[in-house]
Structure 1
Amino acid sequence: MSLARAAGAVVGPSKRAGTTLLQRRAASSHAHDEHHHEEYHDTNVYEPEVFNTPFWRRAAIAAVGIVAFYKYAPAPGDENPIAKYISSTMTPAKVYQDVSFKHLIGSAQISDDTKLMVDAKPPVVHRYRYPQRFEQYSPHLQPVGIKVSVGDVVVKRD
């Protein structure tokens, strides 16, 4: 708010009592007309919007090339020089089958070796609390027909 308007609001409020809010708002929106006398001029230089730019030329050439390719391209089953060249430079499928089969055999051997190593366990050793009992058995009080021979048992001393 300008200083003059503020002074007028303080000094003479009785004169303005009859003005409505709408009139005051309209007056305040046009208070700075001195700034609107200048016209805005765009100083940028724009190229004319035409369809003969290099982009549209290339797009039209590409579209014609794509249409010609689909119209004159050979069918998938037809023999043509490009297909012959590609088939002559390719490695036969039999070579890849042999390599794949050798890889399968090698993978199976490695998996068998891995399973053998994972499932490997030390030999079962029966440890008795009192191994000297083999030497202390009584030949008496044995039932008829049962004869226990412990002669071939070797007791290891740890």
Structure 2
Amino acid sequence: MRKYFALENNDQLFVKESDRGYIYIEAFKSNHVKAACEDIRSLNISNLQIVPIKEMTDILLIVRTTYEIKKGSWVRVKRGIYRDDLAKVEHCDMGKNMVTIKLIPRIDYTKKCGSSKSNSAKLFDEKAVEIFEGEKYDNKGFLIKNFPLHAV
């Protein structure tokens, strides 16, 4: 496809991630689109459709998701070793797209170096460790950690 458009230089192609199985090709005539697609075996050009002009602007519309995260609300972590853990929001900074959350830490006091196994969640034992890897803990043993907004 790129090879064809590099030679022609008049058409454009884009793929919208939410529309799986569809590609959109901008051209002056449908014959130009067929010519661009005929050398590509994985494309089915028998289902070629022209998108009406009213729908063309909807295809290019970018929808942003807004987050309603407030202090005291509960969130679930999406990434890292705390994936799928439930956490409470302590502070939310929408300007920096960061959220400070309180969650149960995953600390293995007998961990050997180089082990990548995830530990079970348990409350912090203040007597066993006072400072662990520079992380902040509150007086009840919960981990206070900053995450990007899209990771919760």
TM-score category by the smaller chain? under 0.3
Greater strand fraction, Structure 1 or Structure 2 = 2
Under a length normalisation based on structure 2, what TM-score does the superposition of the two structures give? 0.17
Greater helix fraction, Structure 1 or Structure 2 = 1
Which has the higher relative contact order, 1 or 2, with Cα contacts under 8 A spaced 6 or more apart? Answer: 2
